[in-house]
Amino acid sequence: MTCRFAALALAAMLAFPLAGCGGRSSTSSGGRLTIAVIPKGSTHEFWKSAHAGALKAAREEQVDVLWQGPLKEDDREEQIKVVDTIRARRVSGILLAPLDDKALRMSVADAVRAGIPVALFDSDLASDDYVTFAATDNYQGGIMGGRYLAELLHGKGSVMMLRLHEGSASTTRREQGFLDEIARHPGIKVVSSNQYGGATTESGYRASENLLAATRAADGAVDGIFTVNESTTFGMLRALQNAKLAGKIRFVGFDCSEQSVRALAAGEMDGLVVQNPMKMGYLGVKMLVQHLRGQKVPKKVDTGATLVTKATMDTPEIRELIHPDLSILR
- Tens digit of each residue's pLDDT (9 = 90 or more) over 263-278: 999 999 999 999 999 9
Give 103-160 pLDDT, tens digit per residue. 999 999 999 999 999 999 999 999 999 999 999 999 999 999 999 999 999 999 999 9
- pLDDT-derived band at 255 (thresholds 50, 70, 90) equals very high
Instruction: Choose one of 258, 274, 290: the last residue of a domain.
Output: 274
pLDDT value at position 43?
83
**pLDDT at residue 148, as a whole number:** 98
Q: Establish if 290 belongs to a structural domain.
A: yes
Report how far residue 129's alpha carbon sits from residue 61's, in angstroms, rounded to the nearest whole number. Answer: 24
Same domain for 70 and 147: no
Q: Are residues 178 and 213 in the same domain?
A: yes
Q: Which CATH number is 156's domain given?
A: 3.40.50.2300
* Residue 17 vs residues 23, 83, 147, 284, 297: alpha-carbon distances, Å: 12, 14, 45, 21, 29
Same domain, 207 and 284: no
SS3 (DSSP) at 30? coil
Indicate if 298 and 281 belong to the same structural domain.
yes
127 and 187 share one domain:
no
What's the total number of domains in the chain?
Answer: 2
Domain membership of residue 329 (yes or no) is no
pLDDT value, residue 30 = 56
Q: Is residue 1 part of a domain?
A: no
For residues 147 and 269, state if they share a domain.
yes
4 vs 133, higher pLDDT: 133
Task: Assess whether 155 and 256 both reside in one domain.
Answer: yes
Looking at the structure, do residues 216 and 246 belong to the same domain, yes or no?
yes
Expressed as residue numbers, the domain containing 121 is 6-136+276-304
Taking alpha carbons only, the member of 313, 104, 141, 149 closest to residue 229 is 141
| Percent of the chain topping pLDDT 70 | 91
Residue at 326 is within a domain: no
pLDDT at res. 136 = 97
pLDDT for the residue 211? 98
pLDDT reading at 29 higher than 70: no
Q: At 290, give phi and psi (nearest 5°).
A: -60, -40
d(Cα 168, Cα 252) in Å, to the nearest integer? Answer: 20
Segment 153-201, tens digit of pLDDT: 999 999 999 999 998 999 999 999 999 999 999 999 999 999 999 999 9
Q: Is the same domain home to 132 and 143?
A: no
pLDDT value at residue 133: 98
> Which residue among 224, 256, 274 closes a domain?
274
- Asked if 35 and 148 sit in the same domain, the reply is no
Kindly state whether residue 319 falls inside one of the protein's structural domains. no
pLDDT tens digits, one per residue of 65-81: 999 999 888 899 999 99
Based on the domain organization, do 269 and 142 belong to the same domain? yes
The chain-wide mean pLDDT, for the chain, equals 91
For 64-77, the DSSP string reads EEEE---SSTT-HH
For residue 260, report the phi and psi dihedrals to the nearest 5 degrees: -70, -30
Does residue 126 lie within any of the structural domains?
yes
- Give the per-residue pLDDT at 42: 86
Q: What is the pLDDT of residues 207-254, one digit of tens each?
A: 999 999 999 999 999 999 999 999 999 999 999 999 999 999 999 999
Reported as a pLDDT band with limits 50, 70 and 90, residue 9 is: very low
Residue 14, in any domain of the structure? yes
Phi and psi (nearest 5°) for 192?
Answer: -160, 130
Buried b (16+ CB within 10 A) or exposed e, 169-195: bbbbbbbebbbebbeebeebebbbeeb
250-254: strand order across its sheet: 188-196, 157-163, 224-227, 250-254, 271-274, 306-308
The answer on 131 and 153 residing in a single domain is no
**In-domain check, residue 51:** yes
